[in-house]
Amino acid sequence: MINRTLDNRYTILEHIGGGGMADVFRAHDKLLDRSVAVKVLRPQFTNDEEFVTRFRREAQAAARLSHPNIVNMYDVGRDEETDYIVMEYISGETLKEKIQTDGSLTVELAIRIALEIAEALEHAHQNNLIHCDIKPHNILVTRSGRIKVTDFGIARAVTSATMTHTGTIIGSVHYFSPEQAKGSAIGAKSDIYSLGVVLYEMLTGSVPFTGENPVSIALKHLQEDPKPLRDVNPAIPPIVEAVVLKAMAKEPEARFDNITEMIADLKLAQNYLRDDQTRRLSREDFPTQVLPRVTVSDKDSGNQEQLPEEQKNPERGKSRKWLWGLLALLLLGFALGAFLAYGKFWSSSEINVPNVVGKQVEVAKNILAGQNLRVSISETFNDKVPAGQVVSQYPEAGSTVKEQRTITLFVSKGGEVTVVPDLRGLNRRDAELQIKNAGLQLGHVEEQYADIPIDTVVSQNPRPPAQVNKNTTIDLVISKGNGPRKLVMPDFRGSPLSTVNTQLDSLKLKLGTVTELASDKYPPGTITGQNPAPATETTEGTTVDLTVAKGSSGAAKRAVVQIAVPEGSSKQAVQIVVTDSNGRRVVYENVHKPGDKVEKTIEGVGQVRVQVYINGILLQEQTI
């Protein structure tokens, strides 16, 4: 998916998360020039037309939600075989990450977060949308501390379709409700239960039920009560504990009638925490949804203790029967898995597993079948082993197993191939990110002048959309911006050498080699030729070589230059430059203080010009 553009608008940049049903990517919305989050449905769910229809319908319903505590849905679409939802991109952390970092949260903070989640759920329930997967992983905390609930729409569509077709229990086992564990109908009260679990985790730093596997955790949701909050942290007020216990009641009828009632009690708990006097009120004086007044009818309930358990709670008896059936199915599945994984465990025949690594898969299968062993094939990318050959095996060669044991062969599919992304026009940072996301490596980077912004990719090798093995290097050419200004070379021929330097400086050209040649056409010291030639197109900074007419006498000329360093800074740079038939050169350069006397004998051939500079400024000039 990386570097792919959905519907010619959303360019996928990087993977930022995902779950069992979808992957989430950061993308760039080319139309509105902003970052968005794109949730892409996994390929295994795209072939069921009824599922896709429900997915799109529920996603569109979620897109109609508008609440400050709900991640905004921007768009829903399908590009070829890919179904996707475009959402608001949130920069921050999940509530799960916050709990893992901070441990248990303060009671005040936990109540505030629970309130914001509940208000988001209230808005969703009023729009007939059930979340079905409330958990800290789906709660985003922005950098400013605002709570944003995400994953609306997909959870509802997933539950509807999969419960109809496969009977699969959907949800996160640590947070789903007892009715979800049983595969029963799910409603708004399932979200209330999950929110109670999230509040429990915020207050204690851990989930209420743990186990060795998902089945054991699901059974605890059905059978066990969570450890009392005040046993974990005695500082938690009773009213807060009561809110959590009512939300987490096993039977939906025993929970809050709706999320609005839970919000009311969360606000009462919040006010209770803010008012020390309110904390001292008795239970009789502080009735709420979860702390009603004690009445005579409540006392009569003690007679229930004399009834058998199943008469007191007939639903619990039904649950136990269902649990025994579930356990029987699990045992049957275990026996079948053991037969496939370990062979005939009642057989006394044992076999030494042969070594088939490096063999063609068909040859390996025949060898193992000849030893009365089963074969399972698992393909894997490997750029060092030719396609169709066995990379490794499990159990390993030399192991002793029962007959009919399944031997898993990992067979090479060759090097993994990827498409080279088009990096032209991207800035260097984004180009390197796309190279990394495509499983490729950054190769040689060259810089050159180009008429595009600095640090932008001019070209690349290999070019898109070539298909290459992963880890292939991609070479880039990066813009250095606009190059030196172009100009047409002037014609210096016929001009005295002494007059050319000023013109060269103004054009930002450099004086190169000056060569003297005898000439009958030009007087001594006159330019007779040049390179580059006149009218040639060139650029600033080019070096110009000149040919000068040679004088009748080639004897060297000498002169003494005397300089008095003027008043000014304590350190002044003095430079003497000589220009003659041999070219331009610096003959003296030093630092002096004001009042110093500098005397230098210079010599030159032909027409000799002497220039004295103080701190880069021309002080005097003479010709000898």
- What does the block give as tokens for 287? 């009735």
Hey, what amino acid is at 470?
A: K
Q: Which residue has the tokens 């309110």?
A: 278
Cα 598 to Cα 532: distance, rounded to the nearest angstrom: 39
Assess whether 545 carries a catalytic annotation.
Answer: no
Amino acid present at 25 = F
194 with 176: CB under 8 angstroms?
yes
CA distance 363 to 345: 27
8 A C-beta contact, residue 440 and residue 490: no
124: β partners: none
Cβ atoms within 10 Å, residue 359: 18
Residues sharing a CB contact under 8 Å with residue 533, sequence separation 6 or more, in sequence order? 489
**Distance (Å, whole) CA 498 – CA 531:** 18
Q: Rg (Cα) of the chain, in Å, rounded? A: 42
Q: What separation, in Å, do the N-terminal and C-terminal C-alpha atoms of the chain show?
A: 77
8 Å CB contact between 38 and 16 = no
Q: Which residues have a Cβ under 8 Å from the Cβ of 571 and sit 6 or more positions away?
A: 591, 592, 593
Buried b or exposed e, range 99-126, using 16+ CB within 10 angstroms: beeeebbebeebbbbbbbbbbbbbbbbe
* Interatomic CA distance for residues 423 and 529, integer angstroms: 48
Contacts of 605 (CB under 8 A, 6+ apart): 516, 554, 555, 556, 557, 580, 581, 582
Kind and range of the H or E run holding 597 = strand 597-605
Rounded Cα gap, residues 14 and 430, in angstroms? 10
How many Å apart are CA 489 and CA 492, to the nearest integer? 9
Peptide bond into 462 cis (omega under 30): yes
SS (H, E, C) 143-164: CCCCEEECCCCHHHHHHHHHHH
For 465-555, list the strands marked E by DSSP. Answer: 467-469, 473-479, 486-488, 510-517, 527-531, 537-539, 543-549
Catalytic hit among 83, 133, 191, 580: 133
SS3 readout for 538-578 = EECCCEEEEEEECCCCCCEEEEEEEEECCCCCCCEEEEEEE
β-pair type (22-29, 34-41):
antiparallel
Tell me which residue has tokens 């070594």.
Answer: 355
- The Cα 543–Cα 504 span in angstroms is 10
Task: Check: CB of residue 158 under 8 Å from CB of residue 166.
Answer: no
Q: Residue 446 carries which DSSP code?
A: E
Neighbours of 503 (CB within 10 A): 12
Is the peptide bond between 532 and the residue preceding it cis, with omega within 30 degrees of 0? yes
Catalytic residues: 133
